[in-house]
Amino acid sequence: MTATDIKGLDVSTKSSDALAAYERGLDLFLRWRGGAVEALDAAVLSDPRFALAHCTKSYIAWRMGRADLAIAAARQATAAADDAHHDRERLHVQAVDALQRGDHVATYDRLRQIAAHYPTDRIAVRIIGLNCITQGDYRGGIDIARRSLEASPDEPQYQTMLGFFLEQSGHNDEGLAMSLRSLAQDPTSLYTYHAVGHAYQARGDYPNALETFERAASLERYPHLLWHLAEAQALLGHDRMTRDYWASTAPPLPVYERIALLWRLEVLRGASADAATWRDLAKQGERVLADYADWQTTWMHHWLGVAFARAGDWTRAGQQLERLRRMPAGRPSGHWSTLGVALLEGEMAIIKGDLEAAVRLMAPAIDDLHAMGGGSREQKDIFRDTFMELHRRLGHVERVIELAQQRLLANPHHAQSLAALAWAYAENGDAALHRQACRQLVLRAEEAGLAPMAPELVAARRVLEVAA
């Protein structure tokens, strides 16, 4: 008798214990809960020839950045290939075989085939969805999620995936509604909390964003959720709280996320880290690249390049530039071989003190930032924030007004943009608009939870007090 998973797809194992452990491991991974690898270990302990369990462990280890585990599991899957009796399973074995050979393009090709022919294959759909983020292909993510929802309308994973990609495509209301629907069905899925928090943050609803991420972290301290909490606190001027999350050891944040947080604090909040901290982050980056350079995403390579430059290691920073330039042009690399490499060049120019060059280099990427892959739109907002700050430092009043107004259309609580408008109107000598911008900043700051002693808020209050 052929065994099937909970979606009715054929699987080649005769062990009910192996199948149950496989389902548990896959479910934990999809919901961003701990213990997925251990559950899959139990599955292959019950049935060492269960190729699909080995494949799934390989994918999960890949996403964790554990190339050693991914390769070992892929080799075990290929060794058990003769026991994969179904076309879907054989495609999975081919995918991880390509993975352990470093041919990630072929891996994604096989996974796309699986997702297209078997839209309820949960692991294939998830990994392809993640690749859509890497490539900036939000439309593709929407299409995949909708196709899977047609096959399984009540599956929370597909609802969350659709909600996230709708929000990333600019359809915030629809995306948030879909993600909240999913959360109501599974209130313990950190993956869904993440999508809901994204939607709140994108619209500037920081109280709800913080509450959402905090509720998720109370269930389990998932590193990426801690990063979101740290970044939200940085946006709100709570620098000490940001640093507390940054220093988390249970669990530690990935090195590239720690680099991004420090860069935000340094460039946008004027809170520089000491040279020793940057050197330590660069050393961590060296170790990552020494062992698993080809397994890091473009996003990770970018932030490692920033750390090398900030630590004064211009040779390694230059190597990161060249690595990005060698990537495939266009969507396959998420445009990081062109637009992304220019962002890194611009950040290196900032470190060197050449702000004019930084603006010139970053401008094309900022214009097409929505098309870039790598991180989410909210993760990429740091580049827009930095670009506006550069124009402010250079005294480009009209450009600052334009950039700030664009940002405030989507996020009326974006404190940096409100402060930038106040600065610009003061520079223009428009006292009425200056006071109005300061009043908006004070009102929005209270609604959003901006730190009471944030410098921009203190300055705005002072203006209003004088005017009174």
Tell me: the pLDDT tens digits for 306-328? 999 999 999 999 999 999 999 99
Q: What are phi and psi of 354, to 5 degrees?
A: -100, 85
CB of 296 within 8 A of CB of 65? yes
What pLDDT shows up at residue 293? 87
pLDDT of 276 over the 80 cut: yes
Please count the residues of the chain.
468
pLDDT band at 294 (very low <50, low <70, confident <90, very high): confident
In 3D, which of 362, 356, 360 has the Cα closest to residue 341?
A: 362
pLDDT of 2 over the 90 cut: no
* Token pair 């124009």 in the structure block, residue: 391
pLDDT of 251 over the 70 cut: yes
Longest dimension (CA), the chain: 83
- Within 8 A by CB and 6+ apart from 37, the residues are 25, 57, 60, 61, 64, 69
For residue 423, the surrounding DSSP H or E stretch is helix 415-428
**Integer Cα distance of 183 and 422 in angstroms:** 39
pLDDT of 1 over the 70 cut: no
Q: What is the pairing mode between strands 3-4 and 10-11?
A: antiparallel
CB of 229 within 8 A of CB of 205? no
Mean pLDDT across the chain, nearest whole number? 96
pLDDT of 92 over the 70 cut: yes
- Within 8 A by CB and 6+ apart from 185, the residues are 154, 156, 159
Helix, strand, coil % in the chain, rounded to nearest 5:
75, 0, 20
What pLDDT shows up at residue 455? 95
What pLDDT shows up at residue 291? 82
Tokens of 268: 């946008």
Tell me: the pLDDT tens digits for 175-191? 999 999 999 999 999 99
Tokens of 130: 């993640």
Tokens of 402: 């334009």
Tell me: the pLDDT tens digits for 52-75? 999 999 999 999 888 899 999 999
What pLDDT shows up at residue 424? 98
In angstroms, the Cα distances linking 314 to 227, 319, 356 are 27, 8, 20
pTM here is 0.95
Tell me: the pLDDT tens digits for 410-451? 999 999 999 999 999 999 999 999 999 999 999 999 999 999
When pLDDT is averaged across residues 361-383 and rounded to a whole number, the result is 94
When pLDDT is averaged across residues 289-316 and rounded to a whole number, the result is 94
Q: Which residues pair with 252 in a beta bridge?
A: 249
pLDDT band at 229 (very low <50, low <70, confident <90, very high): very high
pLDDT of 379 over the 90 cut: yes
pLDDT band at 88 (very low <50, low <70, confident <90, very high): very high
Identify the weakest region by mean pLDDT among 59-68, 109-118, 455-464.
59-68
Domains and CATH numbers, the chain: 1-135 (1.25.40.10), 254-394 (1.25.40), 403-467 (no CATH)
* Token pair 């097409």 in the structure block, residue: 368
**Integer Cα distance of 295 and 300 in angstroms:** 10
Give the DSSP letter of residue 333. Answer: G
CB of 62 within 8 A of CB of 295? yes
What pLDDT shows up at residue 298? 93
pLDDT of 211 over the 80 cut: yes
In angstroms, the Cα distances linking 396 to 392, 423, 456 are 6, 11, 19
Neighbours of 432 (CB within 10 A): 9
What pLDDT shows up at residue 426? 97
CA dihedral 446, 449, 453, 458 (to 10 degrees): -30
What pLDDT shows up at residue 466? 86
Q: How crowded is the C-beta side of 299, counted as CA atoms within 13 Å? A: 23
CB of 216 within 8 A of CB of 195? no
CA 411 to chain centre: 19
CB of 400 within 8 A of CB of 384? no
